[in-house]
Amino acid sequence: MEASEVLTKAWSAVQESGVPESLYEVAFREAVALVSGPPVARRTTPTASPVRSSAEAPAESAQSAADVDTEALLQRFADESKSDVIELAEVFFFDADGTAHLNVPGRKLGESTAAKAKAVATAVAAAHYFALDEPAVPVETIRAECVRLKCFDGKNFSTQMGAAPGTVSSGTGSTRVLRVKPSEIEAALRAVVSVARKTKD
């Protein structure tokens, strides 16, 4: 199941569950776990890809075929965005399915919830654009990362996404995406990385 599909299903489940908004984060986390199965271990720095034995069980071999080389993905991100790979590794990590995440706590991405959410949007959109060659990222993917980083404001989220630096909002509802502005995304990414690295513990 694609990451965007998992996130969409999980968010729909939370909304339909009727839980109070104050419990959205916990409910969403549980819903993602139920929809996607066991979580993938977080990777904070690029490491060598594990060598898999040819004697592995067929099921595991099938799973490994779907995994991506996160080290190579990070290197491609750095090359395409003209950024330092070590600096990017301090701010980003990728799951084995290619999903991009931030290593920095949400509270350190800006002074306000709006600033934090917009920084997350720019960062995730840039990761998809430069590392995955995807010019658009589902807003639901960004919503999930904002929830994870505790900078999700349900009432104002839509407006915040429309103002994320280096991107433009397109579509409506569950089909809404953020498309990068090729002429602006590189500078916008550098600004987010700079803020994130200056505020890391």
Tens of pLDDT along 48-92? 444 444 444 444 444 444 577 889 999 999 999 999 999 999 999
* 102 neighbors 90 (Cβ within 8 angstroms): no
Q: In whole angstroms, what is the distance from residue 77 CA to residue 79 CA?
A: 6
Q: What is the pTM of this model?
A: 0.67
Q: In whole angstroms, what is the distance from residue 175 CA to residue 195 CA?
A: 30
> Is the model's pLDDT at 122 over the cut of 60?
yes
Distance (Å) of CA 167 to CA 97, 126, 147, 153, 198:
24, 9, 20, 19, 23
CA triple 173-116-151, angle to 5 deg: 65
